[in-house]
Structure 1
Amino acid sequence: MFEGVKKTILGMAILCFISGCIEIFAAYLIVKFNAIEKALIINSSLAFIESLLFIAIISIGVYGIADQVRGKKLIWIFFGVGCILFGIK
């Protein structure tokens, strides 16, 4: 099934899948605990974990295209990712 898929794409997809599973599990915990205080704690923890996964996914993608992109374009990519991370905070 994954014979023709590049390792970079597969790695990014696996991390996205893990991210989605974490989101679903967090939603389950919020419903299970049924308390606003605990829901806020779960949601803030989720924001931290998702930010780390986002950085990992972007890093894998940039690593995958680093040989194709040179100089200024790579700087613009990092600048764009920095703006996204700044906006998340």
Structure 2
Amino acid sequence: MWFLIKDKYVFGMAFMRVFSGCIEISAALLMLYFNRVETAVKINAGLALVGPIILFLVMSLGLLGLAGKLPISKMVYVLLGVALIFYGVNKG
């Protein structure tokens, strides 16, 4: 399976998503272990920080991978799309 990986950026993006999934599963198990709503809310608040960080890291890796393959005009559209995602999820 590993020998099929040809693009280091795709591998990095996939690895970050698997890592994020492991964090999510660990958080769920901790919620079950502590079995208290107050603690579960605190754990969930911690996850609220992890999600955007992972999104930013995965998107950054993807943009690095695309940097040499896309014309600058299309790269501007991709960056604008990323900016709009962050603007849209901003609570301010």
Asked if these proteins are the same fold (TM beyond 0.5), I'd say yes
1:77 shift after superposition? 1.1
Aligned partners of 2:16, 2:10: CA distance in 1, in Å?
10
- RMSD across aligned positions (CA): 1.4
**Gaps (5+ residues) in structure 2?**
none
One-letter amino acid of the structure 2 residue matched with residue 65 of structure 1: L
Report the equivalent of 1:4: 4
2:51 is equivalent to residue 50 of structure 1: yes
- Quick one: percent identity of the two aligned structures? 35
1:36 shift after superposition? 1.7
Judging changes above 3 Å, is the alpha-carbon distance between structure 1 residues 4 and 24 closer, same or farther for their aligned structure 2 residues? Answer: same
Aligned partners of 1:19, 1:83: CA distance in 2, in Å?
22
What SS does the aligned partner of 2:79 have? Answer: helix
Report the equivalent of 1:66: 67
TM-score, normalised relative to structure 2: 0.85
Report the equivalent of 2:16: 15
Aligned partners of 1:58, 1:71: CA distance in 2, in Å?
17
1:60 shift after superposition? 0.5
Task: Output one character per residue of 1:16-71: Cα deviation in whole Å (capped at 9) or x when no partner.
Answer: 11000001001111111122221111111111012111110110011001111122
One-letter amino acid of the structure 2 residue matched with residue 4 of structure 1: L
Aligned partners of 1:38, 1:78: CA distance in 2, in Å?
37
Report the equivalent of 1:30: 31
Of the structure 1 ranges 72-81 and 6-15, higher mean CA displacement relative to structure 2 is found in: 72-81
Aligned partners of 1:88, 1:32: CA distance in 2, in Å?
31
Aligned partners of 1:69, 1:16: CA distance in 2, in Å?
24
